[in-house]
Amino acid sequence: METPAKRATVYFDPIIHKALKLKSIETSRSISELVNTAVKEALAEDAEDITAFEERANEPLISFSEMVKRLKNDGRI
């Protein structure tokens, strides 16, 4: 059984709202559906970023100055 949707008030910039209305009409999807999809995609990207950070948590840290030196020694700058 699907959880009932929760209602929230969101204020959009007028231009963004107009773009959402137009996309809603062209795709036959509600603004709520478009916003829910966009938020889910953003949260999925956040989850990927968190996983990447966790996977690299034990890597040694390097200072900015050390990185610049390495780039210079490698002929990249």
**The total number of structural domains that make up the chain:** 1
CB 48 within 8 A of CB 54: no
Answer whether residue 23 is part of any domain. Answer: yes
26 in a domain, yes or no? Answer: yes
Q: What pLDDT, in 10s, does the model give residues 21-74?
A: 999 999 999 999 999 999 999 999 999 999 999 999 999 999 999 999 999 999
Q: Which of the four pLDDT bands, split at 50, 70 and 90, describes residue 2?
A: confident
What's 11-65 look like in SS3?
CCCHHHHHHHHHHHHHHCCCHHHHHHHHHHHHHHHHHHHHHHHHHCCCCCCCCHH
Report pLDDT for 1.
67
Q: Is the residue at 2 inside a domain? A: no
User: Cα angle vertex 73, ends 72, 77, to 5°?
Assistant: 25
Looking at residue 3, what is its pLDDT? 86
Range of the domain at 65: 14-73
Q: Which two tokens stand for residue 77?
A: 């700058």
Residue 9 within any structural domain of the chain: no
Structural domain includes residue 1 = no
CA angle 19, 23, 26 (to 5 degrees): 140
Q: How confident is the model over 6-26, as pLDDT tens digits?
A: 999 999 999 999 999 999 999
